[in-house]
């Protein structure tokens, strides 16, 4: 059924409650690929353990992330939804690609530098080499298109370099993937520091709007959002706080920046922030409702996990068999 379709792959870590940045910049757009592509959407629990995790919380968040995928519109009958650790070829290809990734390439990864600074007592080898595992995640499914945020472009470029290097040595093995960065919503910024990207790990809860926040919490956070000392609701340099709020509003409404500026012309900052907060909260309500319904049916979530793992395993095994043959591993004869 999928043979004539190109492949899309993306993964989300189950390492915290997802933000509206994750939603607007990535997950909400995923369903648009479902008709024209064979889509693999993965909960990358193996990536999550590069920093210390509470095991019970990691398990719970894995279920939650899968449920959020579906609550945001991903139909498991039209997309392959699965958990990374349920498909052992991710780890196997990750090791093989470690051996085709240069130390210097990994040492230049900005996310390694950032995460090392935040986890100075646990700078482990996995934290250093996880871009190779990310490349394996993508290349395992012969992926043509990878929806990525701006902060992941460097990792995608590395995956392309690794694929090209392997293909040059062994002949055509991997599809070299392209990135897809949506024009709108690719970078939603912190409500408290609007020159920084909104991060689910931000210690300041007022800086982050999470998909599952209650309506009251969402509106309260928007009311506290940093703006500036002026009074004009316009998009541009020196108006980073207002620009961020306008971006959020247009992403949820589909309006242009010019239409939004016109709509809020002459309005005070307080009323503007309230309007953006209400729009955000109301837009997310159906997602929160569907998420609650899915989380109440653990057996169904496990059925989706199993179905997705079987589909992913079948295709991952095909690629891995080709890789093993090319690099000279022996195969057991059954």
- By annotation, the residues acting in catalysis are 115, 197, 200
Which uninterrupted H or E stretch holds 300?
Answer: helix 298-327
CA angle 43, 47, 50 (to 5 degrees): 150
* CA-wise closest residue to 27 among 149, 178, 145: 149
Strands (E), 247-307: none
206, with CB counted inside 10 A (0-12, 13-18, 19+), is middle
Q: Between the CA of residue 186 and those of 23, 25, 122, 233, 238, what are the distances in Å?
A: 10, 4, 30, 21, 20
Contact, 5 vs 38, CB < 8 A?
yes
Show the tokens assigned to 265: 């012309």
What lies within 8 Å, CB to CB, of 167 at 6+ separation is 173, 174, 176
Which uninterrupted H or E stretch holds 27?
Answer: none
DSSP string of 102-133?
-HHHHHT-HHHHHHHHHTTT---HHHHHHHHH
Decide the pairing of beta strands 178-180 and 37-43.
Answer: unpaired
Contact, 41 vs 35, CB < 8 A?
no
The residue behind tokens 């009958």 is 77
Alpha-carbon distance of 208 to 192, in angstroms, equals: 8
Alpha-carbon distance of 23 to 32, in angstroms, equals: 13
Alpha-carbon distance of 175 to 322, in angstroms, equals: 13
């Amino acid at each position: 059924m999928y043979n004539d379709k190109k492949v899309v792959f993306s993964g989300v870590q189950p390492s915290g409650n997802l933000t509206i940045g994750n939603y607007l910049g990535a997950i909400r757009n995923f369903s648009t690929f479902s008709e024209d592509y064979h889509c693999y959407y993965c909960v990358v629990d193996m990536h999550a353990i590069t920093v210390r995790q509470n095991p019970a919380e990691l398990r719970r968040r894995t279920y939650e992330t899968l449920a959020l995928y579906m609550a945001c519109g991903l139909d498991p009958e039209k997309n392959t939804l699965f958990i990374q650790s349920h498909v052992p070829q991710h780890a196997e290809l990750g090791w093989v690609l470690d051996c085709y990734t240069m130390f210097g390439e990994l040492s230049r990864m900005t996310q390694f530098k950032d995460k090392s600074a935040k986890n100075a007592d646990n700078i482990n080898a996995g934290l250093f080499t996880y871009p190779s595992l990310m490349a394996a995640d993508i290349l395992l499914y012969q992926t043509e298109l990878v929806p990525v945020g701006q902060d992941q472009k460097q990792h995608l470029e590395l995956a392309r370099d690794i694929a090209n290097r392997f293909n040059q040595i062994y002949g055509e093995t991997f599809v070299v993937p392209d990135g897809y960065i949506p024009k709108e919503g690719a970078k939603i910024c912190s409500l408290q520091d609007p020159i920084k990207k909104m991060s689910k790990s931000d210690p300041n809860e007022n800086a982050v709007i999470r998909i599952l926040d209650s309506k009251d919490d969402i509106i309260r956070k928007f009311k506290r959002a940093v703006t500036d000392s002026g009074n004009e609701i316009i998009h541009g340099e020196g108006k980073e706080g207002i620009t961020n709020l306008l971006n959020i509003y247009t992403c949820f409404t589909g309006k242009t920046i010019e239409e939004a500026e016109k709509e809020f012309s002459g309005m005070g900052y307080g009323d503007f922030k309230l309007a953006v907060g209400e729009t955000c909260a109301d837009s997310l309500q159906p997602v929160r409702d569907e998420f609650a319904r899915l989380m109440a049916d653990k057996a169904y979530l496990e059925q989706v996990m199993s179905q997705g793992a079987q589909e992913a395993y079948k295709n991952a095994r095909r690629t891995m068999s080709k890789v093993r043959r090319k690099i000279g591993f022996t195969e057991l004869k059954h």
